[in-house]
Chains A and B, each alone.
Chain A
Amino acid sequence: MIQATQVSWRYGANPVIDGISVTARPGRVLGLIGPNGSGKTTLLRLLYGALRGGTGHVAVDGDEVSALPPREAARRLAVVVQETGAETALTVAELVLLGRSPHLSTFQRTGPADHEITIECLRRVGAGQLGSRAFASLSGGERQRVLIARALAQQATHLLLDEPTNHLDIRYQHEILRLVRGLGTCAVVVLHDLNLAARYCDDLVLLGRGEVAAAGTTEEVLDPTVIEAVYHIGVQRLDLDGAIHLLYHPRDEPTATGTSAPAAASHMPA
């Protein structure tokens, strides 16, 4: 469980995150959504302790994240960041094996168990054949999957992902998120695509200008009126076969189905 209480972070004089409290509960996937510049990535970085000097508290399973020794923190929190390290000359296998380093002492080299885990993690992200390739020679989507494999190899109790579906085609967007969901670990995912959030997140926090615009279960947060107010775009919500689907349109144009008032279109029965 990750619990952030009244966290704030300012960049110069501008508050990026302003007194936010969020809780990522065990076994559930928490999605952080919101427009560009709403502070999603900053909030995520606060959650894994990469930003210091803000106010408020972040606790991982009850322990203050900033007080954890770095290696212990890495055993609890595996993070897929947007920094790819694309210039590295490491091979895919070498890169994913680095995910084992929080579990190894300084003098210890990787052993058969670490290799097994690495192979398994690569297989799970559909990159089982890439082990001996140079990381730099991969496509954007392959790189992203390898980075996710590295985070999985960390075998941390929490998984945090910053826009993991970037560079991925539709199939892998779904496969990766389904994989994250299937892990059963506490996960926090920054997502742009609200339909992916609708399908794969249990809980959502919708950020608007550094503050929480809405928080709760996915069902509760994906309310067209709330989303419209934050994103300034027309939203229609369709509940089909128990799944939520969102359709968007510019606010001054009529919708595909002819209904122009978005609020009226909410919870349209299928």
Chain B
Amino acid sequence: MGAVTATALPENRPDLLGVAAQRRRTGIWLLALTITLILTGVIAVGSGAVNVPPATAAQIIGHHLVGLPGEVTWTPPQDAIVWQVRLPRVLLGMLVGAGLAACGVALQAMVRNVLADPYLLGINSGASSGAAAAILFGAGATFGQYALSSSAFLGALSASLLVFLIARSGGRVTSVRLLLSGVAVGYVLYATTSFLIFASGSAEGARSVMFWLLGSLGLARWNALLLVAAVALGSMITYLTVVGRRLDVLAIGDETAHTLGVSPGRFRLRLLVLVSLGVGVLVSAAGSIGFVGLVVPHLARRIVGAPHVRVVPVAALLGAILLVWADVLARMLLSPQEIPIGIVTALLGAPFLLVLIRRLHATGA
């Protein structure tokens, strides 16, 4: 009885800080976005050169996933397209979109710059060099079907290590030092990739590298890569949500972080390692897809405000939805030919960014 009144009392207080209202709002958004994400998945699985009605697509997935009983009303090719080809691709798209958005949020907090994106630290350039080496010179052939991804991941890992060592060389890792070393390493590795393309002298190879650089979900299969991406990105997003308050504090400033019980150097280092691994996995799986990691965090903040405990999950869901739709467009615009998804996200993202810049000026922030 006593416990009931004790917990009931605060509920009746006026919500002077707006905390309860904001929590409700965030809950509604998370629910709405999750439903949208599921619908997006079903529709995207059905869309493409061969159209499968959403209801049929849902039935096929249900049949495979939980052995849903019922009459098989679809053809074997439809089954193969939905289950073998498109579903892994849509899932990878969701993971990559969510991961890019979450990495973007983390990096914007780490370097305190709203224009930061996941590729700021030059990690994607490392992955690109690795991928170019794999495509043009057969690097990583020992990894079989994972040659490209593993070579790209090794490239990303070396790039992060290099950025980290340079940023660390002057003592403490500060945001400015991190930014500068990321830009420097990025340029060097970009040059390396260009040199590899130039040195190989293969026009066909150059085209494949170019396609990969602009991003593609074409590598998606039911394989270990998808599983690794799901585990890595899932844990990263969970961690970033859990440490949301620490991200808030770090985004204000190092001195403030220190006085609120967050060791800024150590926390930034931990984030750096985590985000580097995350971006490494992303780029290895799908190439460098631009603008998602830059624009989606802003959209999320617009919807649920600045605290990271809300921004991270909302940005992840938004990123997942947007990237799947971008992939649908990439597959269908010049169907049956596929265009690199990076072109679509840039075309969609740039106007968004311009609107945001206008808004920023309008509010004087």
Contact = CB atoms under 8 A, between A and B. Distances in A.
A joins B in a complex = yes
Contact of B245 (A50, A78, A104): A104
B253 A99 contact: no
Contact of B259 (A74, A106, A111, A112): A74
B263 interface: yes
Nearest to B14: A119
A101 B260 contact: yes
A98 B259 contact: no
Interface stretch (A86-94, A207-215, A243-251, A261-269): A86-94
Interface string A72-102: 1111011101010101111101110111011
B262 A90 contact: no
Contacts of B17: 93, 97, 115, 118-119, 131-132
B256 interface: yes
A73 B261 contact: yes
Given A83-B253, A110-B19, A132-B17, A89 B259 contact: no
A102 B262 CA distance: 9
A73 B301 CA distance: 31
A58 to B, nearest CB: 14
Interface in B183-239: none
A79 B259 contact: yes
Contacts of A11: none
A193 B299 CA distance: 45
A71 B249 CA distance: 13
B306 interface: yes
Interface in B1-39: 10, 13, 16-19
Contacts of A101: 245-246, 249, 260-262
A70 B256 contact: no
A118 B259 CA distance: 17
B16 A74 contact: no
B305 A91 contact: yes
Given A89-B365, A90-B307, A112-B13, A98 B243 contact: no
A71 B261 contact: yes
Contacts of B331: none
Contact of B260 (A98, A106, A136): A98
Nearest to A68: B261
A247 B171 CA distance: 46
Contacts of A136: 365
B112 A99 contact: no
A223 B54 CA distance: 86
A70 B305 contact: no
Interface in B237-254: 242-243, 245-246, 248-249, 251-254
A85 B242 CA distance: 22
B249 A106 contact: no
A83 B260 contact: no
Contact of A89 (B10, B246, B254, B305): B305
B251 to A, nearest CB: 7
B258 interface: yes
Interface in B283-313: 301, 305-307, 309
B260 A88 contact: no
Nearest to B310: A94
Interface string B304-337: 0111010000000000000000000000000000
Nearest to B15: A115
A172 B102 CA distance: 41
B338 to A, nearest CB: 38
A200 interface: no
B261 A98 contact: no
A151 B319 CA distance: 36
Given A85-B253, A106-B242, A110-B19, A94 B259 contact: no
A90 B306 contact: yes
B307 A70 contact: no
Contacts of A89: 301, 305-306, 365
Contacts of B251: 85, 88
Interface in A222-262: none
Contacts of A81: 253, 255-256, 259
A9 interface: no
A85 B253 CA distance: 6
Nearest to B302: A89
A48 B259 contact: yes
Q: Max chain A CB contacts within 10 Å: which of B17, B18, B243, B254?
A: B17
Contact of A50 (B19, B243, B255, B365): B255
Contacts of B254: 83
B19 A102 contact: no
A107 B309 CA distance: 11
Contacts of B301: 89
Nearest to A72: B261
B255 A83 contact: yes
23 contacts: A50-B255, A74-B260, A77-B259, A81-B253, A81-B256, A83-B254, A85-B256, A87-B365, A89-B301, A90-B248, A90-B306, A91-B18, A91-B305, A93-B19, A94-B306, A97-B19, A98-B249, A101-B249, A101-B262, A102-B261, A118-B17, A131-B17, A134-B365
Interface of B: 10, 13, 16-19, 112, 242-243, 245-246, 248-249, 251-256, 258-263, 301, 305-307, 309, 365
What are the 10 closest A-B residue pairs judged by CB atoms, nearest first? A74-B261, A85-B252, A112-B10, A71-B261, A89-B306, A93-B17, A79-B259, A102-B261, A83-B253, A83-B255
Given A112-B10, A119-B16, 11 more contacts: A48-B258, A70-B263, A83-B253, A87-B365, A88-B251, A91-B305, A98-B245, A101-B245, A102-B260, A111-B10, A115-B19
